[in-house]
Amino acid sequence: MSRITGIWKRRLRPVLLTAAGRWLGGGTPPPSTAIRVPALAASGRCELIRLGTVARQVLPPRELTGDLAAVAAVRSAIDDAGARDRYDRLLAGTVALTAAHPFVAILPDGHASHDSGVVTTAAGELVEDVSGLGFASDDPTNPLRLGCLPRPRHAPLTVAVLTTGPHHNYFHWMLEALPRLECYAQAGVAIDRFYAPVRLRFQRESLALLGIPRERIVTATRWTHLTADRLAAASLHGSLSRAKTDFLHRRFTERVDPGAGPARRLFIARAGRGPRSIVNERELLAALRPLGFQRCRLESMSLAEQVAVLHRAECVIGAHGAGLTNLLFCRAGTVVVEIGTPYRPWSCFYEIAHHRDLDYRLQMASPVRIRHFDRRTGVGDSDLRVDAGGLRGLVGSLLETRGLRRGRAA
């Protein structure tokens, strides 16, 4: 069945979409060549506004506790020596964040298509360093793989691209798409409209909280093809930085009073489906409740409510997952314990915690119900069984230490 699904997505569906587009009057061919912004600027075909440099940074090691035997077992199962080294760096937190050179490009009569933000020049070239998808992407809706694109709709305005390839993922939307706003502000570009997807609730709510009304949004969908008098496209880079996290923290929390309610101790629960479910969650909650922890389902809250509750939190515990993106909203010094699986060593939430100056620990759970595992890369996924007593002891010690520090400071 999975093979049939793959053939449909990657071979038959693009052919049918192309035929439908032609029948409905679509009529522009997709780009067949690619170019980068510096080359466009050198030939005088776009304005390039450089915004300085984000320096390369190597993060300090993070403290790892929990089921270290499971970590060793997963590591020993990795076939490739280079992948084992990468696994060690990710798990320890000693990752290197690459240098970035952010910029904004202004393209006369530039085109934007698809909900990922595929940017092309007036001459039909893919501008690959500001586009959310490229020729190599296997996204089954990739417009670069179609025989024709929808007929473009012209906007006699300055339109800024505000999306990213994996925009449907909350983490990537927050840390890749929305920081483009800061680039446009730093470049001093007067924007009339923003090209952005609004299908998902968090997209709509985040744009509203950032002060972008619905009437200033050109809806980006899989079928959209827009050309603007001036198309602004900020550089895309996935590395986190203090500049990104400070921008998002400041903009989302500027109207939240951290003293308006009591500081809360939060256990962020994941939905009961999908990987990284905590199979002994009841036992874990019973151990944490005497310390004042409350179970929190972020999916049931508006984004504004999530911002407020995380901003007022004293301590946050949660399994590795998109909900921990909300660590962006925590105040410096907040105690954070991420519950992880050795099959998924990503350091993305540690990176947020580092840039936000949070008191972070990684507690490794025992993996159960292993979903998948690639021995070549060391990456997989599983559900989690947490040592409830061990986690309670760790959290109690962290909170006691934090209380002592605050007492000395007072």
User: Both 170 and 203 in a single domain?
Assistant: yes
In the three-class reduction of DSSP (H, G, I as helix; E, B as strand; rest coil), residue 87 is classed as: helix
Identify the pLDDT of residue 308.
Answer: 95
299 vs 257: CA distance, rounded Å: 22
Count: domains in the chain: 2
In the three-class reduction of DSSP (H, G, I as helix; E, B as strand; rest coil), residue 236 is classed as: coil
Identify the pLDDT of residue 49.
Answer: 98
User: Both 295 and 185 in a single domain?
Assistant: no
CATH classification of the domain holding 278: 3.40.50
Q: List CB contacts of 102: < 8 A, sequence separation 6 or more.
A: 50, 51, 52, 54, 183, 234, 235, 237
| Residue 25 within a domain | no
Q: How many residues does the chain have?
A: 410
Nearest CA to 239 out of 93, 54, 50, 51 is that of: 54
410 vs 405: CA distance, rounded Å: 9
Angle, CA of 166, 22 and 127, to the nearest 5°? 40
Residue 69 burial by Cβ neighbours in a 10 Å radius (0-12, 13-18, 19+) = exposed
User: Both 327 and 283 in a single domain?
Assistant: yes
Domain that holds residue 83: 60-94+245-409
Identify the pLDDT of residue 24.
Answer: 47
pLDDT tens-digit readout, 213-267: 999 999 999 999 999 999 999 999 778 999 999 999 999 999 888 777 777 999 9
**Residue 223 φ then ψ, to 5°:** -105, 0
User: Both 161 and 253 in a single domain?
Assistant: no
Identify the pLDDT of residue 94.
Answer: 87
Identify the pLDDT of residue 257.
Answer: 83
Q: Which ranges in 9-133 belong to alpha helices (H)?
A: 13-23, 37-42, 68-76, 81-92
Cβ(234)–Cβ(184) below 8 Å: yes
User: Both 224 and 349 in a single domain?
Assistant: no
User: Both 119 and 135 in a single domain?
Assistant: yes
Tell me the pTM: 0.90
User: Both 275 and 358 in a single domain?
Assistant: yes
Among 179, 212, 239, the domain-final residue is 239
Ranges under pLDDT 70 in the chain: 1-27, 271-273, 403-410
